[in-house]
């Protein structure tokens, strides 16, 4: 563990844990640099099939920016934000590995923004989400751009303009969360999702995520006809042939990642 961030890799699943429970897993500048570096390394690691992002303990996924450190004000934070957004992940472009948010408690401010940067969200039933910046005279700098892409306009504005907390059960109803389980069952639920991803061709997953990210910011026709390197590699890969062969032979595919 370095700078309050724990990183582990096992069987193709990378687990990134914000381990600052005494600060509700708030992210200071050192932790953010560490996170940004981890995402950068993972971008090109073909051994990684998926990533789980979580916080230590049961109280908080992350309370966002460490306000005790942020003494220079919100404008300074905005002007010095990392290219990937809060925690290096909230607005990261080009990161094609699927990321699962294991939300073990409160996801507030930048913590919620990091969740919005993930692809699959699994939450404990006691978890909640909030963008409370307006209550303290700040702005949800990344959330203003990402949340309206994930929710109907009125719902996104409700959260940003009031700063109210969104319980996990309602987040599931709104489509922000994929699954809500009792806290004791959170690890088992996340394992189920990692196994589901591991059963798919890794190059296909990367290509799907890249295409989806591009489609979110481009016209549908432009995105549909964009033949990127990742798409070409996936469609011409050994795994592409193996998937069809395994289906015809009625057996599980054996993925090679090439």
Q: Encode pLDDT of 203-217 as tens digits.
A: 999 999 998 988 877
Flag whether pLDDT at 228 surpasses 90.
no
CATH 3.90.226.10 fits 5-198, yes or no: yes
Identified catalytic residue from 69, 70, 133, 219: 133
Task: Write phi, then psi, for 59 (nearest 5 degrees).
Answer: -85, -40
1-33 pLDDT tens trace = 789 999 999 999 999 999 999 999 999 999 999
* Catalytic residue selected from 22, 34, 58, 113: 113
166-189 as b/e: b if 16+ CB within 10 A = bebeebbebebbbbbbeeeebeeb
Q: Give the Cα separation of 64 and 35 in Å (integer).
A: 13
Could you tell me the pLDDT band of residue 241, with boundaries at 50, 70 and 90?
Answer: confident
pLDDT score of 106: 98
Cα–Cα distance measured from residue 171 to residue 182, given in angstroms and rounded to the nearest whole number: 15
Predicted confidence at residue 227, as pLDDT, reads 54
Q: What is the pLDDT of residue 230?
A: 60
Q: What mean pLDDT is predicted for residues 138-153?
A: 91
Is the pLDDT at 232 greater than 60? The verdict is yes
CB atoms within 10 A of CB 153: 9
**End-to-end Cα separation, the chain, in angstroms:** 31
Distance (Å, whole) CA 15 – CA 81: 24
* CA-based nearest residue to 206, from 51, 33, 59: 51
Around Cβ 150, how many Cβ atoms within 10 Å? 15
Instruction: Mark whether 133 is an active-site residue.
Output: yes
- Here the tokens at position 38 are 């981890």
Mean pLDDT of 181-205: 96
Give the H/E segment covering residue 191.
helix 186-198
How far apart are the C-alpha atoms of 224 and 247, rounded to whole Å? 26
Evaluated on CA atoms 30, 31, 36, 39, the torsion sign reads: positive
* DSSP labels, 60-82: EEE--B-TTT--S-HHHHHHT--
Q: Is 113 among the catalytic positions?
A: yes
- pLDDT per residue over 65-109, tens digit each? 887 775 555 555 565 667 789 999 999 988 999 999 999 999 999
Which residues sit opposite 17 in a β-bridge? 6, 54
Average pLDDT over residues 149-168: 96
């Amino acid at each position: 563990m370095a700078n309050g961030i724990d990183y582990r890799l096992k069987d193709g699943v990378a687990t990134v844990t914000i381990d600052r429970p005494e600060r509700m897993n708030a992210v200071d500048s050192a932790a953010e640099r560490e996170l940004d570096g981890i995402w950068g390394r993972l971008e090109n690691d073909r051994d990684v099939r998926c990533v789980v992002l979580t916080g230590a303990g049961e109280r908080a996924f992350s309370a966002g920016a460490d306000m005790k450190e942020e003494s220079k004000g919100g404008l300074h934070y905005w002007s010095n934000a990392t290219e990937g957004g809060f925690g290096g992940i909230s607005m990261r472009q080009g990161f094609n590995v699927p990321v699962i948010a294991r939300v073990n408690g409160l996801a507030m401010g930048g913590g919620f923004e990091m969740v919005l940067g993930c692809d699959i969200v699994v939450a404990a039933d006691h978890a909640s989400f909030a963008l409370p910046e307006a209550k303290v005279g700040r702005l949800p700098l990344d959330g203003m751009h990402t949340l309206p892409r994930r929710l109907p306009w009125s719902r996104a504005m409700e959260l940003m303009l009031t700063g109210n907390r969104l319980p996990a059960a309602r987040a599931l109803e709104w489509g922000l969360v994929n699954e809500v389980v009792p806290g004791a069952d959170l690890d088992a639920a996340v394992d189920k999702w990692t196994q589901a991803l591991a059963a798919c061709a890794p190059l296909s997953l990367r290509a799907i995520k890249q295409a989806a990210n591009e489609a979110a910011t481009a016209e549908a026709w432009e995105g549909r006809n964009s033949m990127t390197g990742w798409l070409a590699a996936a469609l011409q890969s050994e795994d592409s042939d193996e998937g069809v062969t395994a289906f015809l032979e009625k057996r599980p595919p054996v993925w090679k990642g090439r």
